[in-house]
Structures are given as C-alpha cells and as structure tokens.
Amino acid sequence: MSSDAMRAAGGKHLLPRQRISRDGAGTAGKPRPGEARPARDVSAGRGSDFSELALMIKQRGLLKRRRPYYAAKMAVNGGLFAAGCVAFVVLGDSWWQVVTAAVFAGVFTQLAFIGHDAGHRQIFRSRRANDLVGHVHGVLTGISYGWWVGKHRRHHANPNHEDADPDIEIRALAFTARQSGTKRGVLRWMAKYQALLFFPLLTLEGIVLHVCSIQAVLQREVKTHRVEIALLSAHMVVYLAAVFLVLSPLKAVVFIAVHQGLWGVYMGCAFAPNHKGMPTLSAADKLDFLRKQVLTSRNIRGSRFVDFLLGGLNYQIEHHLFPSMPRPNLRHAQQLVHEFCTSRGLSYSQCGLLSSYAQVLRHLHAIGAPLRHPSVSRTTP
C-alpha cells in the first residue's frame, strides 16, 4: 500500500477544498457549499480490506441472529401499543388525548425500527419470516413495507450519491450545490432557508411516508401490491374510524396532527444524523464498498439509552457495512470496526447527537447560501 493511497483513504486528499479529519469533521481553509465530496479513484488496491473485516466480524459471531432479543422487543412494543389503545378508549373525548397522541408517536417509531430490521433480515434467516414481521409492522404504522424496502436498499447501495440515493432526493431540500441550482419557485425559496425550515418540515414526514406508500402500491411499484393495498386500506379505515368515533371532530383533527407530526419529527431525528452533511458522491467518484459506506456515514456516540432512542441507527457505519447484523450486535462491532478503519487510515466519523444536528444544519445553511446571496460564486459539484 503506497503512502499516497493511504493518505487518500484517510481523508487528507479526499476533498479539493474541504477534507475530512480523523473524527470525520470537515476541516479546510475555504470550503465551498456542496463540495464535501470524496475525490476520485481512491479505491485502487483495496478490494481485500472489507473481506478481512468481514472475516473478523464473522469469527466473533456478530452476524448470529438474536431472536430472543427481538421477541422481547416486539413483546414490549406490542404491550405499549395495546396499552395506548386501552388508554385511548378509556380517556374518550378528552383533550388528554394529546398525550396519548404523543405516546403513539414514540410507539410508532419503535415499531418502524422493527420493520427496518426485518427489511434487512436481521431477525430471522428466512426471508419469508422477516417479510411477515415487516408487513405486520407496516400495517400497524401505515407504511408500505415493500415500497420502503426497495427504497431503502437503493439508499444502502449508494449512500449519499446525488444521482442514486433516494434519501437525498427530497424536493423540499437541497443537499448539494447542484441540487440547489435546480430549485425553482417556492422550492427555491425553501432551499434558501432550509436550515431554519428543516425541523418544521419533519412534522410532515409521517404524512409523506403515507402518501408515498399509497402512490407506490397504486402504481404497482410493489410486487405484492394487492396485499399492500389491503393492508394500507385496513390501517387507514381502522385509524380514522377509531379517532373520529371516539373524539369530536376538532379533537380528532388535533390528535392526528400531533400524532403524525411528532412521529415525523422522531423518525426524521433518528435518520437525519446518519448521512446528512456527510460527503456526497457522484458518478465520477470511484470508491470500494468499505470506503463508500464508511466515508458517507456518521455514528452517534451515547449510552444504551441512545441505542434505544435511535433504534440502533446510531451505529450507522457498522449497519451500512453489515446490514443484516442484528441490532444488539452493532454496539459490540463498533470498536472493532473503528480500530480497523483507524489502522487503515480511514476517516471514521462519530459525534454526539446534538453535534450531529448542528452539522446537518450547518451543511443545509451552507448549501442555501448562494441562493440567499446570488453574488456568492457557486461551483456545481
């Protein structure tokens, strides 16, 4: 391994105007908005690195299924969901239902985390068993499991790729200078002030998930579209019937707004720190699997409470390297992966939860700067 190749893999030659430091934070003299992107052709001679890491992970048994853990997790989630339903009926037509709505927002997110794990086949070895769990959690939350799995697999294949990652193809936001340059009308105004609008926009994330799910099944983008239509219809009918039968129209609308809004914020806050503000890739970037996944991902430091709060997504680097690794094993893999990346001179990004949000907002603010100040030169990456 040449010293030049090592330096490139370690982040010192990753960016022409902004480089990635050892802890993953961007450092440079005068970076331009949207240019936090790895340089070209740094993967030569590195094809065996991931194989070596994968062997270490396998030898430590970190890919073994943890069915008792997931059984307990689903039992607790199911108990909380049932308790929420009982509380909803007992409270009746009361403004205290706002609290119930907030509780359901948290429960829905925890259910979505299980659906996420099922989509990655973390729970069972059998695809059918995982899909069954995924569909059950999809009907509980009102999300098309088939649509989400397809979308999420595209994200994992090309994280932070401006042409191939659906998670950075969000009309209301711009994550690269090129994206900001294509905005027109209201979307252009939103991109100008997207850092300020980011958290308010998350209140719509739950509604967006429902709408995208319905569109996908109606347009037959999902193989099991008939099953998905039945499941989504069942969710919508039961949800709306329960809310409007128990609550007065005004309270029902407030309940839905609080529930869906807080659910969207929780979901967005769990997923946003993982890649937003990290280097973006284009077709010109040539990275091997290990570097593509590590350099575009960010871990969140914290206790087991953070693990619970973020559904294990705080170990985003490990999760992207080993998507089928059961959630409770990610914590045990983290130190091993960190040491391996350090030994290869590969930048490994991790920070606290609040710091991650600050990095996301700074990135969004920088991308919107040329739109707020047209005199500022902008280079399309």
Which pLDDT tens digit goes with each residue over 221-238? 998 999 999 999 999 999
Query: By CB neighbour count within 10 A (0-12 exposed, 13-18 middle, 19+ buried), where does 150 fall?
Result: middle
Contacts of range 372-377, beta carbons closer than 8 Å, 24 or more positions apart: 372/192, 372/193, 377/32
pLDDT band at 267 (very low <50, low <70, confident <90, very high): very high
Q: Measure the CA–CA gap between 176 and 379, rounded to whole angstroms.
A: 10
Assigned token pair, 278: 């990290």
pLDDT for position 35 = 38
Q: What is the DSSP letter of 377?
A: -
Residues facing residue 26 across a β-bridge? 20
pLDDT for position 220 = 92
More confident position, 160 or 33: 160
Residues facing residue 135 across a β-bridge? none
- Stated as kind and residue range, the H or E segment containing 71 is helix 67-91
Identify the weakest region by mean pLDDT among 18-27, 111-120, 188-197: 18-27
Assign 191 to helix, strand or coil.
helix
Assign 246 to helix, strand or coil.
helix
Q: Measure the CA–CA gap between 51 and 46, rounded to whole angstroms.
A: 10
Q: Measure the CA–CA gap between 32 and 381, rounded to whole angstroms.
A: 10
Q: Is the pLDDT of residue 29 over 80?
A: no
pLDDT for position 379 = 46
pLDDT band at 374 (very low <50, low <70, confident <90, very high): confident
Start-to-end C-alpha separation, the chain? 29
Q: Is the pLDDT of residue 129 over 50?
A: yes
pLDDT for position 72 = 98
pLDDT digits (tens, 9 = 90+) for 137-193: 999 999 999 999 999 999 999 999 999 999 999 999 999 999 999 999 999 999 999
Q: Is the pLDDT of residue 19 over 60?
A: no
Angle subtended at Cα 177 by Cα 173 and Cα 183, rounded to the nearest 5 degrees = 50
Q: Is the pLDDT of residue 271 over 50?
A: yes
Give CA separation, 14 vs 156, 280, 292, in Å: 21, 11, 12
Give CA separation, 332 vs 89, 130, 264, 328, 345, in Å: 42, 23, 30, 8, 21
pLDDT band at 376 (very low <50, low <70, confident <90, very high): low
Mean pLDDT of 315-325: 98
Angle subtended at Cα 322 by Cα 217 and Cα 221, rounded to the nearest 5 degrees = 10
Q: What is the DSSP letter of 169?
A: -
Mean pLDDT of 118-142: 97
DSSP annotation string for 106-155: HHHHHHHHHHHHHHTT-S-S-HHHHHHHHHHHHHHHT--HHHHHHHHHHH
Q: Measure the CA–CA gap between 21 and 297, rounded to whole angstroms.
A: 14
Q: Measure the CA–CA gap between 242 and 207, rounded to whole angstroms.
A: 18
Q: Measure the CA–CA gap between 369 and 180, rounded to whole angstroms.
A: 10
Average pLDDT, the chain: 88
Task: Specify whether the CB–CB gap between 329 and 62 falls below 8 A.
Answer: yes
Buried b (16+ CB within 10 A) or exposed e, 349-376: bbbebeebbebbbebbbbbbbbbeeeee
Q: Measure the CA–CA gap between 191 and 365, rounded to whole angstroms.
A: 9
